[in-house]
């Protein structure tokens, strides 16, 4: 915890989200990864002389969608600018971005941090820009190679106000934002693979101070956990400096996850002068308000709305509703399971999803989309418990089987002969047999050792290989033992 | 048939009637180029093989009575248009061995119309210059006087045209680079409205000002070429999608009652008396055709040069950042590290004028200077555009008439030591680029040294019809455009 009785932490974020468009932002090349270097490129990607950018309308739609989901104002006239600097992975010598007139301004996101109450975080701006290529150094001596496949990938840069006050708040913000871009299907939110990248501006100031402290910009944060760890380290580092009478220097620092520390990358004086100016190859983007309304109408239900609906419609707890709506696929999984389970109680379905299923997926490191247990199967399983076709215990066996082999629970129960026996006569016969074999225990029971009921139930269940309906077994045993 | 004086209209007629074949015509020009280019240096790269192939294909179309007025017409193309697999240098050492894997929209359209590309013409390096002396491939000489410049930056196209080395030529105009050399070589040169012609595949100098246009013997020929070049292009977002009128059909409009604006700012003390005299004669021709001369004012004219020399270098400094020695073009030998690769590649690959403009542009965009220079220049640019709009609107003008250049062709080397006096050579043409309006330069006589003089007609945005038809009317009433340097070259 960074909480310090004398210092307040102030954090602002810059998040780069790679958009999942079919083609790149300014040319027709496919927007996909994993190909051989420099095979997904064209003269526009490589900034050959005389070629021109043409804006992909899909990028514009995704930017508007994201802006609306974050409650931002869409600028009806926005423009692209050039950010000029030399680097081999930047073929034109400038990045096409937005500077003075971004597409979205004045957005917000509500977060529910673990260390405090629900809180509004301001979104300063969201702008469209183009990603750079990659310089390759590994395994090459005396040279570097450049792979331009990533050049031209559309990005949305989301910039927050310095409203975050702790690593926990920052973690909550990033989780929420990532859920939203995934809900919108604009970005896959994969931080490890760099499709959702975060830089954090961190500073500290004495409580009561209204002026912001000198900030350090921290880069190379490839997971939410690393963002939080880096903030914690950086806050301690800055407080130590101030306590030791040193100044915090405005600089860019890199997070080293192995050594658990940040180190200086470049100072303010080494910062580039980007010489921004309006991109003359692209006319200003003029948006029709009707187009924005059309896009607004296509917005999916977002996490907050879904959370409320799940509570309302399914009677879920805060916890279950929170877990199930944190991820759109999980929420969809839950709802299809509920449909398949009808008329079983959705709360029971929620327990299975947040309990057994997530425990299994976490253990195996699987995403919900990779679950071997289909939503319909889990729903059917819950339905079978509800209809007393199988017991909860058998259900766990069937679930474990599905985790390995997949399949439909009805089929598995049939094949393995796991159907619960609710037939009074059949169970009664088994009960009689067990009682007949344990006359001594019956005497003890009748003498007052009633906890032996559990023993008898266990024996009957064992004998029926768990298929007997435990309610019926209980009832029969109590009746017979008390007579 | 004397191919040296052929207009495009005449050549198309001769081809259509099979009086001459495209192969014969092409061979005749290739022969002339071989003979005359060593003294003119108008071409950087010749493509005799490609030209003859295109000519043969054109002859087949002509034999079937197919094709367009451009089918089989030999053209010279400024070496700034990317031509697939044909070297495109932009007059620079940086691109001395660059073979584009794609075709510019302009050359693609001309080729589709059946035109024959003879070769690529010399130009100021990256189109930065007014005398063709900044070319890595040496200066072009003016066919009217080999000691003089043909103007720039489309000097090679202008010289080739004037010397009869092609039927027509294509140039580009960022601050006057079609019109100024057209005036200095006695030909017709049209800069269309910004966005009328696609910039795709044109090596960029200043993106918000660059525009391609025809360089021809007559306004009629310019109309024919513009027809093929103009129109929407999905590869250029700044290219306008307004419909393209039938320029040829519209060219015979009468001048009777047409109001011609005469801006006082263009007739100040910087104007050479002989040029002034020639323009007076043009006014009389138009009055004789029934046009009405209206004195007007374009009050922000004086700010054009400083405004241009902020905006154009700013865009150029960014546009030329891609020449880093990594993917194409010149690369220095044995770079020590990345900085060395950048520094030496660019130091070796660019000439002095290009470096001067990159530095100027970098400076005006720098943090702390942006507002004082670039932003202010953009504001002035809007005022200059508003000057034209107001004059056209309030006076109900058809066209505006001005001199194209303050003086006739100057001597090679004369202005090299003083960039500002060189920049002033474009003082009457630069406003037009800043305002984005169309303008045409037409020959209107000679000074006492026998050097051509040109005048300029400026139109409303997208009103190329007005300037083409006014130019055509003048050329119907005069014969300056028919005079060629003859044996001089
Ligand atoms: Zn591409």
Mean pLDDT, residues B41-63 taken together:
98
Pick B322's closest partner by Cβ from A52, A55, A91: A91
Cβ-contact A28, B60 below 8 angstroms: no
Domain range for B137: 3-252+405-488
Q: A391 or A251: which carries more pLDDT confidence?
A: A251
With 60 as the cut, is the pLDDT of residue B261 above it?
A: yes
Pick A281's closest partner by Cβ from B80, B207, B370: B207
DSSP A390: S
- Residue B219 resides in a domain: yes
Within an 8 Å CB–CB cutoff, is residue A48 touching chain B? yes
Q: Is B78 part of the annotated catalytic residue set?
A: yes
Residues of B numbered 436-465 whose beta carbons fall under 8 angstroms of chain A's beta carbons: which are they? none
- Whether the CA torsion A255, A256, A262, A265 is positive or negative: it is negative
Mean pLDDT, residues A137-163 taken together:
92
Torsion of CA B123, B129, B135, B139, to 10 degrees: 80
pLDDT band at B314 (very low <50, low <70, confident <90, very high): very high
Pairing outcome for strands B211-216 and B292-296: unpaired
Record: contact A275-B328, CB cut-off 8 A: no
Cβ-contact A339, A323 below 8 angstroms: no
With 70 as the cut, is the pLDDT of residue A279 above it?
A: yes
The shortest C-alpha distance from B259 to chain A (Å) reads 33
Within an 8 Å CB–CB cutoff, is residue A46 touching chain B? yes
Mean pLDDT, residues B44-69 taken together:
97
Residue A56 token pair: 């992909």
Residues of B numbered 345-384 whose beta carbons fall under 8 angstroms of chain A's beta carbons: which are they? 362, 365-367, 370, 374
Pick A275's closest partner by Cβ from B100, B236, B362: B362
The shortest C-alpha distance from B227 to chain A (Å) reads 22
pLDDT at B489: 43
- Residue B287 resides in a domain: no
Q: What is the CATH classification number for the domain harbouring B83?
A: 3.90.1300.10
- Residue B133 resides in a domain: yes
Residues 6+ apart with CB under 8 A from B70: B8, B12, B110, B113, B114, B115, B224, B225, B228
Instruction: Provide the number of structural domains found in chain B.
Output: 1
DSSP letters, B350-390, are S-HHHHHHHHHHHHHHSTTTTIIIIIHHHHHHHHHHHHHHH
Residues of chain A neighbouring B235 (CB-CB closer than 8 A): 52, 54
pTM above 0.95, yes or no: no
- Express each pLDDT in B87-122 by its tens digit: 999 999 999 999 999 999 999 999 999 999 999 999
Cβ-contact B217, B161 below 8 angstroms: yes
Cite the residue boundaries of each domain of chain A with CATH code 1.10.10.410: 424-481
First to last CA, chain B: 19
From the candidates A28, A47, A51, which should be mutated to test the interface with B, based on the most B CB atoms within 10 A? A51
- Give the Cα separation of A66 and A55 in Å (integer): 18
Mean pLDDT, residues B445-468 taken together:
98
Q: Is B177 part of the annotated catalytic residue set?
A: yes
Record: contact A93-B318, CB cut-off 8 A: yes
Least confident of A125-129, A151-155, A396-400, B127-131: A396-400
- Residue B305 resides in a domain: no
- Residue B382 resides in a domain: no
Q: For domain A424-481, give the CATH number.
A: 1.10.10.410
Mean pLDDT, residues A167-184 taken together:
95
Residues 6+ apart with CB under 8 A from B54: B22, B26, B111, B114, B115, B116, B117
Residue A177 CA to ligand 1 centre (angstroms): 29
pLDDT band at B487 (very low <50, low <70, confident <90, very high): low
Residue A33 CA to ligand 1 centre (angstroms): 13
Write down the mean pLDDT value for chain B. Answer: 96
**From B21, B78, B104, B135, active-site residue:** B78
Least confident of A268-272, B27-31, B327-331: A268-272
Percentage of residues in chain A having pLDDT higher than 90: 70
């Amino acid at each position: 915890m960074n909480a310090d009785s004398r210092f307040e932490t102030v954090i602002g974020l810059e998040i780069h989200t790679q958009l999942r468009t079919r083609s790149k932002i300014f040319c027709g090349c496919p927007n996909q990864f994993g190909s051989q270097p420099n095979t997904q490129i064209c003269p526009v990607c490589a900034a050959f002389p005389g070629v021109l950018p043409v804006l992909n309308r899909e990028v514009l739609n995704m930017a508007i969608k994201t802006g609306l989901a974050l409650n931002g104002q869409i600028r009806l006239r926005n423009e692209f600018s050039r950010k000029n600097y030399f680097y081999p992975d930047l073929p034109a010598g400038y990045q096409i971005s937005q500077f003075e007139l971004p597409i979205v301004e004045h957005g917000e996101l509500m977060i529910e941090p673990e260390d405090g109450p629900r809180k509004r975080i301001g979104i300063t701006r969201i702008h469209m820009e183009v990603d750079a290529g990659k310089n390759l150094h590994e395994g090459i001596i005396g040279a570097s190679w450049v792979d331009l496949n990533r050049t031209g990938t559309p990005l949305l840069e989301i910039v927050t106000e310095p409203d975050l006050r702790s690593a926990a708040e920052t973690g909550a913000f990033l989780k929420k934002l990532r859920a939203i871009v995934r809900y919108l299907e604009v970005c896959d939110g994969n931080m490890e693979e760099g499709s959702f990248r975060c830089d954090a501006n961190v500073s500290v100031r004495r409580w009561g101070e209204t002026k912001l402290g000198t900030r350090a910009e921290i880069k190379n944060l490839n997971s939410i956990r690393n963002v939080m760890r880096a903030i914690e380290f950086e806050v301690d580092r800055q407080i130590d400096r101030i306590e030791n009478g040193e100044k915090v220097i405005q600089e860019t620092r890199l997070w080293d996850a192995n050594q658990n520390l940040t180190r200086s990358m470049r100072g303010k004086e080494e910062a580039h002068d980007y010489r921004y100016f309006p991109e003359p190859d692209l006319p200003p983007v003029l948006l029709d308000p009707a187009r924005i309304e059309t896009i607004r109408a296509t917005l999916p239900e977002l996490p907050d709305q879904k959370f409320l609906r799940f509570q309302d419609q399914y009677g879920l707890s805060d916890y279950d509703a929170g877990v199930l709506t944190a991820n759109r696929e999980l929420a969809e999984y839950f709802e299809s399971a509920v449909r398949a389970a009808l008329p079983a109680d959705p709360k029971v379905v929620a327990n299975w999803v947040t309990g057994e299923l997530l425990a299994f997926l976490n253990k195996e490191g699987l995403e919900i989309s990779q679950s071997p247990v289909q939503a319909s199967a889990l729903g059917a399983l819950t339905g079978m418990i509800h209809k007393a076709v199988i017991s909860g215990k058998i259900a766990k066996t069937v679930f474990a089987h599905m985790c390995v082999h997949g399949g439909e629970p009805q089929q598995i129960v049939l094949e393995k002969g796991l159907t619960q026996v609710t037939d009074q006569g059949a169970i009664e016969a088994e009960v009689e047999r067990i009682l007949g074999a344990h006359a001594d225990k019956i005497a003890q029971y009748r003498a007052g050792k009633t906890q032996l009921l559990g023993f008898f139930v266990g024996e009957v269940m064992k004998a029926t290989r768990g298929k007997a309906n435990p309610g019926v077994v209980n009832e029969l045993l109590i009746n017979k033992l008390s007579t | 048939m004397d191919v040296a004086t052929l207009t495009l209209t005449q050549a198309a007629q001769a081809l259509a009637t099979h009086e001459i074949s495209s192969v014969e015509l092409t061979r005749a020009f290739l022969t002339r180029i071989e003979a005359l280019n060593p003294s003119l240096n108008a071409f950087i790269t010749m493509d005799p093989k490609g030209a003859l192939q295109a000519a043969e294909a054109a002859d087949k179309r002509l034999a079937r009575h197919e094709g367009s007025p451009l089918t089989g017409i030999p053209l010279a193309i400024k070496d700034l248009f990317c031509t697939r697999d044909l070297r495109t240098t932009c007059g620079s050492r940086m691109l001395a061995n660059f073979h584009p894997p794609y075709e510019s929209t302009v050359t693609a359209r001309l080729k589709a119309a059946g035109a024959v590309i003879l070769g690529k013409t010399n130009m100021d390096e990256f189109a930065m210059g007014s005398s063709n002396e900044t070319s890595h491939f040496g200066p072009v000489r003016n066919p009217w006087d080999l000691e003089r410049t043909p103007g720039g930056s489309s000097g090679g196209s202008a010289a080739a045209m004037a010397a009869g080395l092609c039927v027509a030529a294509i140039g580009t105009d960022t601050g006057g680079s079609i019109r100024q050399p057209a005036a200095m070589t006695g030909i017709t040169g049209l800069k269309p409205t910004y966005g009328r012609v696609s910039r795709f595949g044109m090596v960029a100098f200043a993106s918000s000002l660059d525009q391609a246009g025809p360089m021809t013997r007559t306004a009629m020929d310019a109309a024919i070429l513009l027809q093929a070049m103009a129109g929407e292009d999905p590869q250029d977002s700044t290219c306008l999608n307004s419909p393209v009128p039938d320029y040829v059909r519209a060219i015979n409009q009468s001048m009777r009652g047409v109001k011609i604006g005469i801006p006082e700012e263009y007739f100040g003390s910087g104007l050479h008396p002989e040029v002034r005299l020639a323009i007076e004669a043009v006014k009389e021709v138009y009055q004789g055709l029934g046009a009405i001369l209206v004195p007007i004012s374009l009050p922000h004219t004086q700010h054009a040069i400083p405004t241009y020399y902020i905006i154009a270098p700013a865009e150029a400094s960014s546009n030329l950042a891609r020449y880093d020695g990594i993917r194409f073009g010149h690369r220095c030998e044995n770079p020590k590290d990345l900085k060395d690769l950048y520094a030496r590649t660019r130091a070796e690959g660019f000439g002095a004028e290009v470096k001067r403009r990159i530095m100027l542009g970098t400076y005006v965009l720098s943090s702390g200077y942006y507002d004082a220079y670039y932003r202010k220049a953009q504001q002035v640019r809007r005022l200059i555009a508003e000057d034209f709009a107001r004059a056209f609107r309030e006076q109900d003008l058809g066209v505006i008439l001005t001199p194209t250049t303050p003086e006739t062709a100057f001597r090679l080397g004369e202005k090299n030591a003083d960039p500002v006096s060189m920049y002033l050579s474009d003082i009457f043409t630069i406003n037009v680029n800043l305002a984005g309006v169309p303008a045409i330069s037409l020959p209107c006589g000679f000074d006492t040294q026998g050097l051509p003089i040109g005048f300029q007609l400026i139109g409303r945005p997208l009103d190329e019809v007005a300037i083409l038809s006014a130019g055509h009317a003048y050329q119907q009433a005069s014969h300056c455009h028919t005079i060629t340097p003859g044996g001089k070259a």
